Amino acid sequence: YPHDYVQGKFDASLFAGKVKSCAYAGNDKIIVLSDKLYLYDTQSGAVLAETEPPLEFFEVYAFEGGYLLTGFSSNGATACFYNENLSLTKEIITMDLLKEDFVTMESGIAISSDGKKLALAGMNVLYVYDLENENIERLLVHGDRFADNSMEIVTFNSVTFLCENTQIAYCGQGRSISDTADDEFFSICGTVAVNGDHLNIAKPSDYVIDTNDIQNRVNRIFMPQEISEPGDFGKNTASLIWLDSKTGQENQFAFSSGDEGCEGVYSSEQGTYAATAVLGESLIIRIYEVSSGSLIHKEEIENPDKTYFYRIPQIYLFDNSKTALVLPGGGIQELETLVATFTFEE
């Protein structure tokens, strides 16, 4: 693969039907969802493979030798495994594995980077599934407690692997177990070793994690804040929590303005960069270098049809080529998807 990266390309005419969304696929490649599912190289501008989409809405995770697509079918939460040529190799219906438990979110399924294990966030139990031995184990259950800060787990929502696949990070709901506490539930996140040891539970102060938007990247895991209503800036801390994938260390940095974080938070595939979107008469995009929290680029996208700015856009950041791909209108059925690309530098 070339070491000299050029600005990323995106030719929407190569894809049948309306471009709805994309997902990172490694080395400046993306998976594009339109009427079909495409593997596309943004450096060469070529379609490398295509297939029929297995699900209408899904998350994509790259691992050694292939891709995992997670989403919901008529059978509930489903994991579809593809090789590097987008050929379906395996399909797992999680209800068949979990029996009386069930996964509630696309982000409730994660795969280790070596493709050997799945982590599954059941409603009441956190599981690890060995894909080679087809063996499933319970790691945590509803009611497990962490005495150091007097908390217990109520439900699980999202999971991902950490520390070279030796730990699993999870998000969900918890409550206090102190004698004076009320029965209020609150957002929690924590870690546990894949053998069930070293349980940790934490409650992010005044920061409610959006468990529908956990962004699992190669080197970092991003946990954008949940905003209860559009424009509800009172609960917006205008900041972003992220974990180091290798160490599990939690970090947080502040955005440059108080209205960021409500209308889209995005991260690059490697996790080097993060971006925010602010909607109005136009779309304002700000890009940050994550380690320092420094604002490195600001871009405005305009269009005479203001309908494009009524809904949060899709934004993808490519670490190697330092190219941003923006798709306003991808989630609005009656509009053609706009395509905008630009470069950013530190």
What's the pLDDT at 181? 57
For residue 251, pLDDT beyond 60? yes
Give CA–CA dist 40/24, Å, rounded: 10
Predicted structure pTM score? 0.90
Q: What angle do CA 284, 223, 324 make, to 5 degrees?
A: 35
Confidence of residue 228 (pLDDT cuts 50, 70, 90): low
With residue 135 as reference, give the H or E element that holds it: strand 135-141
Rounded to whole angstroms, the Cα distance separating 11 from 93 reads 35
Q: Does pLDDT of 104 surpass 50? A: yes
For residue 316, pLDDT over 90 is answered with: yes
Read off the pLDDT band of 233 (50, 70, 90): very low
> Nearest-CA neighbor of 276 among 295, 292, 252, 248?
295
List Cα–Cα distances, 215 to 59, 161, 175, in angstroms: 10, 12, 24
For the residues 266-295, what does the mean pLDDT come to?
97
| Range 181-194 burial, b when 16+ CB lie within 10 A, else e | eeeeeebbbbbbbb
List strand residue ranges (DSSP E) for 212-282, in order: 215-216, 220-223, 239-244, 250-254, 265-267, 273-279
Residue 54 in tokens: 């297995």
Please check the confidence at residue 28 and state whether its pLDDT lies above 50.
Answer: yes
Distance of CA 4 to the CA centre of its chain: 28
First to last CA, the chain: 23
Residue 282 gets which letter from DSSP? S
Mean pLDDT of 101-125: 93
Q: Is the pLDDT confidence value at 58 over 50?
A: yes
Confidence of residue 333 (pLDDT cuts 50, 70, 90): confident
Band of residue 133 on the pLDDT scale cut at 50, 70, 90 = very high
Whether pLDDT at 116 is above 80: yes
Supply the mean pLDDT for the chain: 89
List own/partner pairs for 304-308 with CB under 8 A and 24 or more apart: 305/335, 306/281, 307/332, 307/335, 308/283, 308/332, 308/335, 308/338
Distance CA 60, CA 304 (A): 33
Report the percentage of the chain scoring pLDDT > 70.
Answer: 93
Neighbours of 19 (CB within 10 A): 23
Closest by Cα among 266, 270, 220, 227 to 245: 220
Distances (CA, A) of 183 to 207, 210, 226, 232: 19, 21, 21, 25
Q: What is the pLDDT of residue 286?
A: 98
User: Is 60 exceeded by the pLDDT of residue 323?
Assistant: yes
Contact yes or no for 343/296 (Cβ under 8 A): no
Q: Looking at residues 278-306, what average pLDDT do you find?
A: 96
Structure confidence at residue 234 (pLDDT): 44
